[in-house]
Amino acid sequence: MKFMKKQYFGTDGIRGEVGQFPIVPEFMTRLGYAAGKVLTKDIKPGERCKVLIGKDTRISGYLLEAALEAGFAAAGVDVMLCGPMPTPGVAYLTKALRLTAGVVISASHNPYQDNGIKFFSANGDKLSDDFEFAIEAELDKPMGCVSSQELGKAYRLDDAAGRYIEFCKSTFPGDLNLKGLKLVVDCANGAAYHTAPFVFHELGAEVISIGVHPDGRNINEGCGATAPQALIAKVKEVKADLGIALDGDADRLQMVDATGRLFNGDELLYVLAKDRLDRGQKLGGVVGTLMTNLAVENAIKALNIGFERANVGDRYVLELLKQKDWLIGGEGSGHLLCLDHHSTGDGTIAALQVLAAMSHTKKSLPQLLEGINTFPQVLLNVRYKLGYDWKSDEKLAQQIAKVESDLKGFGRVLIRASGTEPLVRVMVETQDADIAMSAAKSISRLIPVA
């Protein structure tokens, strides 16, 4: 079954443009019903199946929430609605409230015109491939409806934000606080607008918040982890000590120091690993992705701990962490997993762990990363002609081999296909940016362009 291709689910749930199939009300109602049918199969007689639905701040969230709620009710599933809530917040609440599953309505870092659906298990994990295949099998069947007596009910969880704020605070060492720190927190006009600033404030920091006025259409627009220029400018303007940027559903993190220097997920991953090692915690190793910067990999290996690369995507990082029984993993985009604190990537919690590392060592971020100079990465996206098979192109393979030989172990080449578009992504990483660009172009020009 694991080798079958899914029809609707991608690497991070179902995502697309609102109003275009499958992000339409009819499909979402059917999706809620199909998921409900799968979930109720394992419910014991006399028990009720309950799911939590959270969302980010996109205007389409109202539409999709109502459609999913109707589908779940038709399948006999009770629904708890928590309104806008970070994706990791939904994962936490699903587990804390002992619910059957959690559902997030979000397209993460995408513009507001997009939206999507992802599911969490009762343990706060991303649901398995088998579960997604089972939902797709149910979607192929006609939609029905249980009897009136068995219909699902809907409830509003009024204290969701407060519960999640307290959980985030609990992951910060009890003997530390953030007093004396001036922080700028950019919530990307997304789901963390009413949670993240309070977490840092209640731990003692002076907090200046930006990106906390969502209007349904401004999520990720010129702000947040995918557009950190606004954060950099604000940090300099108010002379803050640090800036923290989350994305629309608050599972990504980027940080900025007082000078405006930006620190990405790769660098923060090293900080998290080194801090745990210095405090004598059992680490085993760290999981990055195929895109993790080579300099960071070398630095982590220099700590005499393991390092493994997973496919791009936090779900694959999580799978490898579980396989290895390791705790720390992440990717350059800012998805950082600290499995000793949460079951999924959480931007707010990751920021707290970085702040704890700075407090433990009395060092700034540049000091914690002293000696680590990340290699320039050049990434070219080439839209190829339909029918082109880059894997069987001998000339392309020869050029890739030549570039790898020329780099002589001081860089690397990564070629991979987009999962959603006819694109080949050509990445070359080495110590010289000009060499990286020249090498990437020498490969990409051999790909027939659409």
Task: Say if residue 103 is in the same domain as residue 240.
Answer: no
The single-letter DSSP state of residue 141 is S
Q: Is 430 part of a structural domain of the chain? A: yes
Task: Say if residue 364 is in the same domain as residue 386.
Answer: no
Please say which residue of 160, 191, 220 terminates a domain: 160
Q: Is 417 part of a structural domain of the chain? A: yes
Domain count, the chain: 4
CA 340 to chain centre: 17
Whether the CB-CB separation of 442 and 430 falls below 8 Å is answered with no
Q: Is 172 part of a structural domain of the chain? A: no
- In the three-class reduction of DSSP (H, G, I as helix; E, B as strand; rest coil), residue 247 is classed as coil
Q: Which two tokens mark 413? A: 């080449």
Task: Say if residue 35 is in the same domain as residue 49.
Answer: yes
Q: Which of 106-110, 130-134, 406-410 has the lowest mean pLDDT?
A: 406-410
Task: Say if residue 37 is in the same domain as residue 144.
Answer: yes
pLDDT over 60 at 2, yes or no = no
Q: Is 3 part of a structural domain of the chain? A: no
pLDDT over 90 at 304, yes or no = yes
Q: Which two tokens mark 73? A: 């009710």
Q: Which residue has the higher pLDDT, 217 or 10?
A: 217
Please say which residue of 334, 368, 402 terminates a domain: 368
- In the three-class reduction of DSSP (H, G, I as helix; E, B as strand; rest coil), residue 445 is classed as coil
Q: What CA–CA distance (Å, rounded) separates 436 from 406? A: 11
Strands (E), 89-172: 101-105, 114-120, 154-156
Task: Say if residue 248 is in the same domain as residue 285.
Answer: no
Residues annotated as catalytic (active site), given as ranges: 108
Task: Say if residue 73 is in the same domain as residue 125.
Answer: yes
CATH number of the domain within which 435 lies: 3.30.310.50
In this prediction, residues 100-113 reach a mean pLDDT of: 96
pLDDT digits (tens, 9 = 90+) for 198-252: 999 999 999 999 999 999 999 999 999 999 999 999 999 999 999 999 999 999 9
Return the pLDDT at 420.
Answer: 65
**Pair type for strands 154-156 and 206-210:** unpaired
Return the pLDDT at 5.
Answer: 82
Task: Say if residue 32 is in the same domain as residue 110.
Answer: yes
Q: Is 33 part of a structural domain of the chain? A: yes
CATH number of the domain within which 249 lies: 3.40.120.10
Task: Say if residue 40 is in the same domain as residue 150.
Answer: yes
Whether the CB-CB separation of 234 and 240 falls below 8 Å is answered with yes
The confidence band for 1, taking pLDDT boundaries of 50, 70 and 90, is: very low
Give this prediction's pTM.
0.93
In this prediction, residues 361-389 reach a mean pLDDT of: 94
Range of the domain at 118: 14-160
pLDDT over 90 at 127, yes or no = no
pLDDT digits (tens, 9 = 90+) for 32-75: 999 999 999 988 888 999 999 999 999 999 999 999 999 999 99
Q: Is 6 part of a structural domain of the chain? A: no
Return the pLDDT at 12.
Answer: 84
Task: Say if residue 246 is in the same domain as residue 271.
Answer: no
- Residue whose tokens read 């720390």: 328
Q: What CA–CA distance (Å, rounded) separates 227 from 166? A: 28
pLDDT over 90 at 313, yes or no = no
**Pair type for strands 154-156 and 182-186:** unpaired
Q: Is 299 part of a structural domain of the chain? A: yes
pLDDT digits (tens, 9 = 90+) for 349-369: 999 999 999 999 999 999 999
Task: Say if residue 303 is in the same domain as residue 319.
Answer: yes
pLDDT over 90 at 80, yes or no = yes
Task: Say if residue 86 is in the same domain as residue 206.
Answer: no
- Terminal Cα-to-Cα distance of the chain (whole angstroms): 33
Return the pLDDT at 299.
Answer: 96
Please say which residue of 368, 394, 425 terminates a domain: 368
Task: Say if residue 289 is in the same domain as residue 337.
Answer: yes
Q: Is 7 part of a structural domain of the chain? A: no
